[in-house]
Amino acid sequence: QAGEEFAALSSAEGVDADFKIRHGEPLTQILEEIEELSPDLVITGAKALTAWGRFRSANVPMRLKRKLSGRTSIISIEPAVGGTDV
């Protein structure tokens, strides 16, 4: 159902996109999807973290950048200052 909602929202905005919902450890699932699709660009959402949060977090966008360095371009979209999580 969530995939259908995202598809409806993107379609309403004129965005042609495919959505897939996968279950499991996020980094593993994203890497498997990248392996299957071989995209030129990956765009991820990110949370605003404190310095301590970045230190102890399993920050998926940062880990993804390290794993894919030089193979695929990655853009992480962070919330605006004072905004909510993406």
Give a yes or no: residue 71 inside a domain: yes
pLDDT at 66 over 80: yes
Q: What is the reported pLDDT for 28?
A: 93
What's the domain range around 77? 24-81
Give a yes or no: residue 48 inside a domain: yes
Q: What is the reported pLDDT for 53?
A: 63
Give a yes or no: residue 72 inside a domain: yes
pLDDT at 5 over 90: no
* Average pLDDT over every residue of 18-35: 89
**Which residues, in sequence order, are bridge partners of residue 2?**
none
% of the chain beyond a pLDDT of 70? 80
| Cβ 42 vs Cβ 31: under 8 Å | no
Give a yes or no: residue 9 inside a domain: no
Single pTM value for the model: 0.66
CA dist 22 and 68 (Å) reads 20
Give a yes or no: residue 3 inside a domain: no
CA dist 36 and 42 (Å) reads 13
Give a yes or no: residue 4 inside a domain: no
Q: What is the reported pLDDT for 29?
A: 93
Give a yes or no: residue 53 inside a domain: yes
Give a yes or no: residue 16 inside a domain: no
Q: What's the structural domain count of the chain?
A: 1
